[in-house]
Structure 1
Amino acid sequence: MTEADTNLRDRVLDRADDLRDVLHVLLGQANRRQLWLVFMEESGRIGDPIMPMADYPADPHEETEADDLGVVDQGHLLMHRIGMLREATGNASVVLVWERVAPNVLDGQDRAWASAMADEAAALGVPLRAQFLLHNRGLRQLHPDDYM
C-alpha cells in the first residue's frame, strides 16, 4: 500500500460520493470477476482488511452445505461469513464492490447477487453500507432500484 493509499484510508467518508471516489482511486478499473469486501470503521474510515474474493458462484440461490449452517443458499453463506469477518475485525459495516470486466450495465447475475446480498444482510443483521459495480470505465454505486 502506498502512502497516498494510506492517506485516502484516513479520510472520514460520510457521503456516498466520497466513498465512491476513494474506492475508485484504491481499486481503479476492473480486470477480473471478483468481489471486494471493504470494511468500514465506526468513524466512517475504511477499515482493515480490504479483501478481494474471486471465484464466487454464478448463482446466489444455488444451495450448498456448510458444517455450521446446514443446507443454505450461496448468498446466505457468503453474507454469514462476511458478517463473521466484520465482527472479528471490529468493523462497523461492510461495502461490497462487484468487479467484472464489462460495460457499466448490470446483467442478470449482477442483479441477482446484489439483491441477494441486500436481502441476506437485512435478514442476518449485517450492516451493509453500500454496494458498487467496478466495471471497464470506473465505479458506480448500486441502489435498490438497480437490482430489485
Structure 2
Amino acid sequence: MDGIRSTALDTDDELLDEVISLLHAANKPGLWLIFLDEGKRLCQTLIPIDGIPTVPGPGEDASFAPLLDWLADGEGAASVVFVIERHGDARTTAADVAWARCLRTAAGIAELPVRGQIVLHDTGGRWLAPDDYL
C-alpha cells in the first residue's frame, strides 16, 4: 500500500513523530482529527477544524459525536487521534483540559476508541496524558 497508510504506528513515539512531521507546529488555533485503521496506519484524510472557541460550550461533546461517528465511518477508522492546535508553550492549559474532556466524551458517545490526544504548540507537539484531563 502506498502513501500515508503504508506504515503502522505502533508506539506513542512513532505516532507523535508522524503527527509533528505532518503538522510541524501550531499555525492557528483549531483541532485536527487523525484517524487510524485497524493496522494502526493513518487513514487517507487529516481533518482540520478551524474557528473553534477557546473552550467548548455546554453540550458540545454530544453535538460533535454524530459528526465524529460519520467521519470515522467514512474513513474506515478503528480509532482517532485528536490534535489540539494552539499558540503557546508545551504546558497544559485549562483550555487544553476542557477540549480533551469534550473530545474524549464525544468519542465515547460515538463508540470510537481514542488512540490519544496531542497538543500542537508553537515549537512542536506533545502527548496530553489522560492524567492531565481525567
Q: Is residue 112 of structure 2 the alignment partner of residue 126 of structure 1?
A: yes
Distance 1:131 1:80 in 2: 19
CA distance in 2, matches of 1:55, 1:75: 16
Q: Give a deviation string over 1:109-147, Cα, whole Å, max 9, x none.
A: 110110122133224312211110000111101111111
2-structure distance, mates of 1:85, 1:19:
20
Q: Which residue of 2 aligns with 1:58?
A: 54
Taking the aligned partners of 1:46 and 1:8, their CA distance within structure 2 comes to 6
Q: Which runs of 5+ in 2 are unaligned?
A: none
Say what the alpha-carbon RMSD is for the aligned residues: 1.7
Pairing partner for 2:6 from 6, 10, 23: 10
Give the C-alpha shift of residue 9 in structure 1.
Answer: 4.4
Q: Does 1:110 align with 2:96?
A: yes
1:144 to 117, 122, 130: 130
Larger radius of gyration: 1
Task: Give unpaired runs (5+ residues) of structure 1.
Answer: 1-5, 63-72
1:80 to partner: Cα distance: 2.7
Change (3 A) 1:100 1:85: same
Q: Is the 8 A contact 1:75 1:113 kept in 2?
A: no
How does the TM-score come out when normalised to structure 2? 0.90
Distance 1:28 1:55, change over 3 A: same
TM-score by length of 1: 0.82
State the Cα distance separating 1:8 from its structure 2 match: 5.9
* Aligned ranges 1:31-70 → 2 under 5 Å: 31-62=27-58
1:124, 1:29 → 2: CA distance? 29
Runs of 4+ with >4 A deviation: 6-9
- Percent identity reads 34
> What's the secondary structure of 1:26's corresponding residue?
helix
